[in-house]
Amino acid sequence: MVDIIHYKGREICYLDVSMMSTKDIQKIEEEMDRAKKLIATKPPKSAFMITNVTNVIFNSQMSELFKEYANHNTPYVKASALVGIGGIQKVVLAAVKRLTGRDYYLANTLEEAKEWIINQ
C-alpha cells in the first residue's frame, strides 16, 4: 500500500509491504511503481519516505526489486526511514546503500520512523 502521511507538518510517502512474501512479488512491484511515480513528482532532494518491510520474506528477485526502487528514488529523497529491518534484510540493505549512496534510518515502529523524519 502506498499512502501519503501528514505528520507534524511533514508530508511523508509511505510504502507498506509488511507481511508480504515472494508470492506477493507482483503486488509489491505494483505498489513500488505507484510510490516511484509519486516520488518522481517531488523536487530533487525534497521527499521524505518511510518503507515498512516488517516480516517481508526476501529472495534474490525481491532484493533486486528493492535495489531498483531505491536507486530510482535516490535523486528525490531528502530522508528515508525503514521499519522492520532484520536478518537477511540487513544484507540486502547493505547492498542498496552501496548502490545508491544513501543512508537509511532503521526504526522498529512506524511512530519511531515518523518522529525521526520530522527532525530531518
Per-residue confidence of the chain (120 residues) as pLDDT tens digits?
A: 999 999 999 999 999 999 998 899 999 999 999 999 999 999 999 999 999 999 888 788 888 898 899 999 999 999 999 999 877 677 777 777 777 777 788 898 999 999 999 999
Predicted model pTM: 0.88
The answer as to CATH 2.70.98 being correct for domain 2-118 is no
Domain boundaries, the chain: 2-118
Q: What angle do CA 13, 57, 69 make, to 5 degrees?
A: 35
Residues 6+ apart with CB under 8 A from 53: 17, 18, 82, 83, 84, 85, 89
